[in-house]
Amino acid sequence: MPESDILLRVDNLRVSFRVDKNTVFEAVKGISFDIPVNRTVALVGESGSGKSVSALAVMGLLPEGNTIIDPSSKILFEGNSLFDMTGRQRRQLCGSKISMVFQEPMSSLNPVFTVGYQIGEVLRFHKGMTGREARERTTELLDEVGIPDPSTKVDAFPHQLSGGQQQRVMIAMAIACEPRLLIADEPTTALDVTIQRQIIELIQSLQQRHHMSVLFITHDLQLVSEIADEVIVMRYGDVKEQASASDVFVHPSHPYTKALLLCRPPINERPFHLPVIDDVMQAEGKPHENFPQRVKGYSPDDEPVLDVKHLSKNFEIRSGFFKKKLFPAVKDVSFVLPRKKTLGIVGESGSGKTTLGLTLMRLHAASTGQVFFDGKDILSMTEKEFLPYKRRIQIIFQNPYASLNPRFTVGQILMEPLAIHRIGASSSERKEMAFDWLKKVGLPPEAFFRYPHEFSGGQRQRIAIARCLTMQPEVLVCDESVSALDVSVQAQILNLLQDLQDEFGLSYLFISHDLSVVKYMADQVMVMKNGEVVEMAGSDEIYRNPRHPYTQTLLAAIPKDRYGSLTD
């Protein structure tokens, strides 16, 4: 490719971090790649593969002090070495010609400034605009990225916007100076499938309109098949495969790429176990054709464990200085959950999925309705009467970083609920039970003595699952419990949940916005919108023949594979 067609060149990039006096961790191990003019390059891999470190090296945002960049490393933008620039020159370049959209907008946006002020700051610094000029241009940018009523939203604070709108604000800030390269670092992770599609389409349209190049960083190959021209697959700091998107998806050459393609739950079948990275790589990337299929669905003989009747939850919100009004988050929801079965609950953010799960567990006080557990209404019980039921219905929260006490060891985390509910005759017996559950969820015995921060996200989710299972529950509420995990870790957790259901006869309320995961896990699917149930049917039926327009919209928003490699 002619040099004039290459916008960014990364050559032999090596990045290490000094852990302590004697330990240096090499995060990126001599990778090289090019980003051509007006093209989209996807950087794909699991957490820890070095994707984000590579992007931060381009932006000059790696932490000072403990970062070591090898002297032989080169990053050239428009032929100019970024490492030879002064700090001032680098700051001027990164913001005007190179911009980045970060994964978590609420961590990137300043909560004490309006979104208009924050976008305007970029324009004032890089373009020298006056306050009035910056406000006018900011309003235009908010309109361009699809923010409704931009002239009003320009004065909104980040917390007043939805997750999708916050991400659009980040994109507006990134394109404010019409950069030549946009780096998007996991811009759709944990977003609803409909919002995810809107963000992808927005980035594609902005690229065409502004003639930008895009470096799209993700762990989801299904997204990559929609947006990328070229794909770079990374693992453990190395590039494993680099080719055009069509070659990677139709004829992947590296076993790791094949493994990533096969780890996601397929939409057209339901293998008894999802393949994980190591399985597929040992099988040299062969499909999961030898896996028996699971059969899902309710039957008339199923025994109900949970019977929910006309459940509603209203929140009191402020309307004016002295007035308050009721906001209906869950409206007249009814369903039955049988033993050993899974009810999938899907819908966009704000549909009432999580509120429903928390209300079932009495973590929110229900406004109206009944929840019969083994024929007894748990909502009408006193706290003392409900205490024995607390151990029988447990919840796995979305974020294991927030739900595990960082001051407790894993052993203390597992043994505390055992002591509270007086399970086990002695401390030594409870300790033995904790070790047993660590083994069942696939963690080594030494994990008992370590703290949550010493584990990966997938391992922390296993700890959260083990903590729930120490109670020997009959019902588990899984609230977006795999939504932010890598596809390989997600497959491991889904397999674990299926195995536990088979062994202990658990019933699951599986809340998720990932429709392919729900299709794999659920016997029946309940679709919620604005707090109401709009459709309920068997998982195979609802995907084959969705009846409600909203369900049809959700299914249409699932990323489509242009090459057929993810669905064949």
Is residue 453 within 8 Å of residue 406, measured between CB atoms? yes
d(CA 215, CA 309): 49
Please report whether residue 239 resides in a domain. yes
For 202-220, the pLDDT digits (tens) are: 899 999 988 999 999 988 7
H or E element: which one contains 439? Answer: helix 427-440
Is residue 530 within 8 Å of residue 480, measured between CB atoms? no
Please, what is the average pLDDT of the chain?
A: 89
Please report whether residue 136 resides in a domain. yes
For 469-519, the pLDDT digits (tens) are: 888 899 999 998 887 677 888 888 899 899 999 999 999 999 988 888 999
Please report whether residue 198 resides in a domain. yes
d(CA 431, CA 417): 12
Q: Are residues 84 and 134 located together in one domain of the fold?
A: no
Please report whether residue 315 resides in a domain. no
Q: What percent of the chain has pLDDT over 70?
A: 96
Q: Are residues 124 and 79 located together in one domain of the fold?
A: no
- 133-139 average pLDDT score: 95
Please report whether residue 446 resides in a domain. yes
d(CA 514, CA 507): 20
List all residues 6 or more positions away from 120 whose beta carbon is below 8 Å from its beta carbon: 129, 131, 134, 135, 137, 138
Provide the number of structural domains found in the chain.
4
Tokens of 46: 């699991």
Provide the pLDDT for residue 568: 44
Q: Are residues 344 and 446 located together in one domain of the fold?
A: yes
Of the candidates 153, 198, 199, 144, the residue with the CA atom closest to the CA atom of residue 172: 144
Q: What are the start-end ranges of the H helices in 73-162?
A: 87-96, 105-108, 115-127, 131-144, 150-153
Please report whether residue 206 resides in a domain. yes
Is residue 480 within 8 Å of residue 398, measured between CB atoms? yes
For 8-58, the pLDDT digits (tens) are: 999 999 999 998 888 999 999 999 999 999 999 999 988 889 999 999 999
| Eight-state DSSP code of residue 391 | T
List all residues 6 or more positions away from 132 whose beta carbon is below 8 Å from its beta carbon: none
Q: DSSP 3-state assignment of 51?
A: helix
d(CA 331, CA 535): 14
d(CA 431, CA 481): 26
Amino acid at 168: R
Please report whether residue 503 resides in a domain. yes
pTM of the model: 0.83
Strand partners, 312: 368
d(CA 187, CA 183): 10
- 401-428 average pLDDT score: 90
Domain holding 234: CATH number?
3.40.50.300
Q: Are residues 497 and 541 located together in one domain of the fold?
A: yes
- The helix, strand and coil proportions of the chain, stated in percent and rounded to the nearest 5, come to 40, 25, 35
Amino acid at 117: Y
Q: DSSP 3-state assignment of 246?
A: helix
Q: Which domain holds residue 139?
A: 108-176
